Chains A and B, each alone.
Chain A
């Protein structure tokens, strides 16, 4: 999380101390001031507020933008001089002599014993512990603040397909990972293209389409755009809005070669990817859509999405697509979409999808089956 170390002068601090070590980060860019002589204090400062840097004795001050969380807190961070103010080289050497090498070792040890055996000042150790904890741990947010933040940043993106929108309770929610699972030919890529067309044209927001199967066809996308809007100017105009949707087609093509066998590295990579996708969705308020294959459940015979049990916990919404387009057969089974997992709706709802050749979205009757 936080990696910015800035000294600021804050007037009016309740304890009357005017110089603090601040770490920047947290879900709303909260500034967290850790005073070495008292409890942590959270003034509410949003990003962009100008700060006045004060020259401090520690010249090694850097300011990083919010770095990826996994880098700073994932690995066991080794104690080194300058990691935080107050941590000097002599202190490091004394601590190392007592087998305290990493941040976790330092924080979990009993500071009274350490003060005695290393002959260091207890007060200095407590101050360093406070600052290290502020730097490497996560901040708690209040529910009311988080709700305010979400009310302004959550958006619902229409998918371009009215029956699918109904299934998803008005559309794709930003901040969540949605999964489209289906057999080959069930229409996953078509639905993704339809979402891309709808968001970029209808909402004028950027869409990031990651294609790992080679199924992306620009001509099909152009066809869809043509069907929506007649004006050629509007079709090619680049959208001005921020990134709102990330579509990954497909994630199983990338991950299934890694799974299987007795090693757990494949699963670890899959869970790391899942974590990155969810972080992307939550921190930047984008809707992440992934497509996946299906397999049959060994005991019940029902369709379920591939990539195993651990992956099944990752998406918050799952839609199973069925129906195969057989070009030479008239009256082939239409494409259907069934809601398999949702945080808001009861599961089991099923609708008919129109993924026709002209992609003009007609109003199809919704047939919810129990």
Chain B
């Protein structure tokens, strides 16, 4: 009985893998420096100070995913893990209403039915929630996007709970990062995570992380403070900042870096009623 039980569990996993997850290549080409991104297994980090459009960009991605193919979207399911109660459903609905041609109740319900939302209150709960979501990825083959807003929300609380040793302070986040990597690899997902810039730029800023040629492009005050396991699994890092135009509006810029191939691209965007516009 025990053997059959074990086989049944891996059978679902195998089926989910064989059925394959749809490609997210056309998700948002403006976010990436090279063509054909993101591919399965990519981990993209959004980094920036507050008010620079990270959460708006996430709404834009969610809207692109949940709108049906007839409306120009990708018609895939999205799992949104919200760690600081930041998610504003009413704003997402406004964006959807602007993007759908006929925004009837029925259509809206069907689009929103493709979005799953979880709220986590501590890093331990985040870890346990990730374990319990594993089952969900097996049973929903159209769930290919995982969004985590934000992964740095528990940073100060963990640091204070961990006492003196850096190891115990980072332990929870390290376990979360390791398990996220396993989830993304095994179930062929794409992970978008936001981190907040809560640290001041140090005087010898970001020297070892980027070659000098790129540093002028990235004039963001980036100082890595999360654990090494997280930093090593990130494949793309996108820096957000505000751009004060001469005219009326405030624009935003993003600088997208592919960490392995060292490609960098800089784009600007604005935020209107209908969401992010490039």
Contact = CB atoms under 8 A, between A and B. Distances in A.
A255 interface: no
Nearest to A298: B200
A154 interface: yes
A18 to B, nearest CB: 21
Residue among A265, A271, A313, A347 with the highest chain B CB neighbour number at 10 A: A313
Interface residues of B, number: 63
Given A140-B118, A309-B198, A348-B250, A271 B157 contact: yes
B50 A341 contact: yes
Interface in B69-90: 79, 84-86, 88-90
A234 B259 CA distance: 65
A73 B5 contact: no
Contacts of A137: 125, 128-129, 131-132
Interface stretch (A243-251, A278-286, A320-328): A278-286
Given A146-B89, A313-B84, A123 B125 contact: no
Contacts of A316: 86, 88
B121 A104 contact: no
Contacts of A144: 108-110, 112-113
Given A140-B118, A143-B112, A144-B113, A74 B124 contact: yes
For A269, A271, A346, A347, which residue has the most chain B Cβ atoms within 10 angstroms? A271
A138 B49 contact: no
A346 B120 CA distance: 29
Interface string B111-138: 1111111111110110111011101100
B259 to A, nearest CB: 24
A344 B112 contact: no
A87 B249 CA distance: 60
A233 to B, nearest CB: 37
B105 to A, nearest CB: 10
A184 interface: no
B49 to A, nearest CB: 7
Of A1, A137, A267, chain B has the most CB atoms within 10 Å of the CB of: A137
Chain A, interface SS category: helix
A154 B91 CA distance: 13
Contact of A343 (B91, B111, B116): B91
A73 B121 contact: yes
Contacts of B159: 264, 268
Given A154-B90, A265-B160, A313-B84, A108 B175 contact: yes
A157 to B, nearest CB: 15
A40 to B, nearest CB: 8
Contact of A126 (B5, B79, B128, B160): B5
Interface string A268-304: 1111100100110110000000000000000000000
A141 interface: yes
A108 B131 contact: yes
B156 A264 contact: yes
A134 interface: yes
Contacts of B264: none
Contacts of A123: 1-2, 5
A270 B157 CA distance: 9
Given A138-B129, A268-B160, A73 B90 contact: no
B2 A136 contact: no
Contacts of B85: 275, 278-279, 281-282
Name the residue among A134, A138, A272, A275 with the largest chain B CB count within 10 angstroms: A138
Given A104-B127, A140-B116, A268-B157, A347 B79 contact: no
Nearest to A115: B2
A122 B89 contact: no
A313 B196 contact: yes
Contacts of B122: 69-70, 73-74
Contacts of B156: 264, 267-268, 270-271, 310
Interface in A33-50: 39-40
A107 interface: yes
A272 B127 CA distance: 19
Given A107-B131, A138-B129, A309-B198, A275 B121 contact: yes
14 contacts: A1-B125, A107-B131, A126-B5, A133-B128, A138-B119, A140-B116, A140-B117, A142-B115, A147-B93, A268-B161, A275-B84, A309-B49, A310-B198, A312-B51
Interface of A: 1, 27, 39-40, 69-70, 73-77, 103-104, 107-108, 112, 121-123, 126, 133-134, 136-144, 146-147, 150, 154, 173, 176, 264-265, 267-272, 275, 278-279, 281-282, 309-310, 312-314, 316, 340-341, 343-344, 346-348, 370
Closest 10 CB pairs of A and B: A268-B160, A143-B115, A143-B112, A73-B125, A278-B85, A133-B132, A137-B128, A69-B121, A137-B132, A144-B112
